[in-house]
Amino acid sequence: MLKFFRTIRKKLIEEDNVRKYLLYAIGEILLVVIGILIALQVNNWNELRKDNEREQVYLHLLHQNLSTDLIVLKMNKQFYKEVLENGTRVLSYLRNEEVVEYTHWELLVSAFHASQIWSILLENSTYEELKSTGDLSLLQNASIRNRLGFYYGGGMTRYLETMGINPPYRKMSRMVIPYHILGYMWDECHETVNDEQILKKCEPNVSEEEAIEVLYKLINDEVMMGELGFFMSAIRSGSEPLNEQIRLCETLLAEIERSLVKI
């Protein structure tokens, strides 16, 4: 092709036809410009294709992370529902309200269960990679980008400041419950399966009289009962942020699924 153009150029020069030579030169320049533009466009298409492929990989990874989060968030909601029920039961007994259906051992176990915490950590590896590499812009759906920011940021902060706290009641109550009872409760009244904590009923390992004695030490400590009340209030106030995290997680999953269909 280059030889062909050189032949034409040589012929025009030999004919001393300036007008034709100028037209030819302009044409040759236009061909070069068009070639460059085509090459740039092809390169842009290739880059866009690569970006779309990377976006798809990220969306799949985000979907995996959020799917795991959703399971954990729902388990965490059920866990704190049970912690709240146990703590409220002890506070009801403190106020001399009717809890006749429970033995003193069961109330003591409730005091133990009310001290349980399970502060979750979201699966944020993909989001952190997106931020650190500057690849957040690859996510074409601005709604997904914005929701992810709140989901891993403000939404999680609200959870950690309510349900996610480590309450003083946890340490205070465990300093009062004798070690042999506490150890038994850990073995028989509590179970951890993978990431899930399970609060269980269990048979007593002490007499009802000893259970009453320990229970009274707990409920007669005004500071400790104040801390228990504070923790139960934190769980109540944290219930809605946790529900919002669950709803946001479900919304993100749905948006990601729609985006994957479009790509």
Q: Are 204 and 118 in contact (CB under 8 A)?
A: no
Q: Are 151 and 245 in contact (CB under 8 A)?
A: yes
Query: Among candidates 125, 70, 78, which has minimal Cα distance to 249?
Result: 70
Q: Which tens digits make up the pLDDT trace of 133-154?
A: 988 888 889 999 999 999 998 8
Task: Name the residue range of residue 236's domain.
Answer: 2-262
Total count of domains within the chain:
1
Q: Which tens digits make up the pLDDT trace of 234-252?
A: 999 999 999 999 999 999 9
Q: What is the pLDDT of residue 52?
A: 77
Length of the chain: 263
Report residue 41's pLDDT band, with 50, 70 and 90 as the boundaries.
Answer: low
41 vs 185: which has the higher pLDDT: 185
Kindly state the percentage of the chain with pLDDT values over 70. Answer: 80
- Cα gap 79→50, rounded to integer Å: 43
Q: Is the pLDDT of residue 223 over 70?
A: yes
Query: Among candidates 131, 126, 160, which has minimal Cα distance to 252?
Result: 126
> What is the pTM assigned to this prediction?
0.80
